[in-house]
Amino acid sequence: MKTITPQDAAALLRDGATLVDVREPDEHARERIPGARSLPLSRLEEAELAVHDGKRVLFHCRSGAHTASNAERLSTKVGVCEAYIVEGGLDAWKQAGLPVAADRRQPLELMRQVQIAAGSLVVLGVLLGALVSPWLYALSGFVGAGLVFAGVTGTCGLANLLRMMPWNCVANRHAVTAAA
């Protein structure tokens, strides 16, 4: 799969190319390139990407790294279409001064919420351990153990808990749209 600059990608979009955002739905809902379809890498195998033969398809993520590392998986979805990866992803698109649709009413991306919550709990555990009781250092240890478990198994209990919070429920109902 070839790479393409954001400026060249914008020109292809004006000519009718299909743009596919491979980030998670919560990321897409908060900030996206106008007209981009959402097809998260986590749902790639089960989803259909309806594109007409010969049509150009452009893929992007936040920085371009996830798209590039999954180029082979993505190429199976495009058939005989000409496919490209947008160099630098959404970040490069914004740096090029190209339009972005942002909805700041959407919650922060789930992984950012996990990072904020885990970091806050670690700091809280250290402060409480120093000021109240050394036993409360265990809170920081518990969070660290949870992060190790998440890294080893690919299952993050904190992310699952945060996903069920009321502010995230609306974002989770966004449908994956991958038809062109």
Instruction: Catalytic residue, from 61, 81, 156, 169: name it.
Output: 61
- Residues 53, 19 within the same domain: yes
Query: pTM of the entire structure?
Result: 0.71
- Residues 119, 57 within the same domain: no
Query: Could you tell me the strand order of the sheet in which 82-86 lies?
Result: 2-4, 82-86, 56-60, 18-21, 37-38
CATH of the domain at 43: 3.40.250.10
Task: Name the pairing type of β-strands 101-102 and 31-32.
Answer: antiparallel
Convert the pLDDT of each residue in 77-100 to its tens digit: 887 788 999 999 999 999 999 999
- Residues 16, 71 within the same domain: yes
Quick check: is 81 catalytic? no
Q: What is the pLDDT of residue 50?
A: 67
Residue 67 scores a pLDDT above 70: yes
Q: Cα(93)–Cα(14) distance, rounded to whole angstroms? A: 15
DSSP conformation class of 18: E
For residue 1, the tally of other CB atoms under 10 A from its CB is 17
